[in-house]
Amino acid sequence: MSKLILTRHGQSIWNAENRFTGWVDVDLSKKGVLEAQMSGRLIKNLDIKIDVSYTSFLKRAIKTLTTILKENGLDLKFNTSWELNERHYGSLTGLNKEETKKKIGEEQFKKYRRSWDTRPPPMAESDKNHSLFSPLNASIPLGMIPFTESLKDSYKRVIPYYENEIQKHIKENKNVLISAHGNSLRALCKYLFKISDKKINELEIPTGNPLVIEFDTNLKIEKCYYLDKSRAKTIIFNQ
């Protein structure tokens, strides 16, 4: 039985400031570092071998992953991929969420933040936040970097990467660890748990709380659970 462990990075500096972060390469907050360390200890308590690990191009996810590996005494090489990046929030990037909600109204705010296929307005080419993106983005093929995304857009890059690069290890009965982001993990959970376009807006992924998914030999999910029960969120299946 193979295990897939999904971990949203620990709280970032902009999470703490309640700002739309998206592709901006902000670091973990002090709380986020502690959450990453706790994630590592929770995973260590599973007493399993981590065979392969993946993360995005963003330092908050990379640092969470390396912290987890360190807590487990592992010096494994890990895979980075832009396809696992957070959703691109377009022109909302950097804005305070509460202030934005007051400005545009709660209904439009919810559509931008949680709907399946509504994109925020695109980020302008002159936007100063471009300079705050990860330097690793230089390796992304020309024309592939978005200026805004819906969750559906994120899904279109996350799922092919999962199917082509990650799923093969699960088929080989290996244990896989992914350290990524709220929306890239929501996209993956939508696929794995067969969540409808309508219900996906209800799925929340907490920071720094590993979600373990156990598969049988036919890649059927046998069970799934958060390691920190006190901060667990509802897992939605086939809805």
Which one-letter amino acid corresponds to residue 10?
A: G
Q: Which helix (H) or strand (E) holds 195?
A: none
Provide the CB-side half-sphere exposure for 189 (13 A, CA). Answer: 30
What pLDDT sits at residue 218? 86
What pLDDT sits at residue 111? 92
The residues that are catalytic are 9, 86
Burial classification of residue 186, based on how many CB atoms lie within 10 Å of its CB (0-12 exposed, 13-18 middle, 19 or more buried):
buried
What pLDDT sits at residue 24? 98
What pLDDT sits at residue 127? 95
Q: Which fold has domain 2-231?
A: Rossmann fold (3.40.50)
Per-residue pLDDT of the chain (239 residues; tens, 9 = 90+): 899 999 999 999 999 999 999 999 999 999 999 999 999 999 999 999 899 999 999 999 999 999 999 999 987 789 999 999 999 999 999 999 999 999 999 999 999 999 999 999 999 999 999 999 999 999 998 889 999 999 999 999 999 999 999 999 999 999 999 999 999 999 999 999 999 999 999 999 999 999 999 999 888 999 999 999 999 998 998 76
What pLDDT sits at residue 168? 96
- The Cα 83–Cα 183 span in angstroms is 12
Q: Where are the domains of the chain?
A: 2-231
The DSSP symbol for 83 reads G
- Cβ–Cβ < 8 Å for 7, 39: yes
The runs of H, that is alpha helices, within the chain are 13-16, 30-44, 59-71, 97-104, 106-114, 151-161, 167-171, 182-193
- The Cα 208–Cα 16 span in angstroms is 14
Which of 202, 213, 210 lies closest to 226, judged by CA?
Answer: 210
Which one-letter amino acid corresponds to residue 25?
A: D
What pLDDT sits at residue 238? 78
- The Cα 88–Cα 199 span in angstroms is 21
Distances in Å between the alpha carbon of 145 and those of 18, 91, 187, 202?
24, 15, 18, 27
- The Cα 148–Cα 88 span in angstroms is 5
Total Cβ atoms within 10 A of residue 45: 9
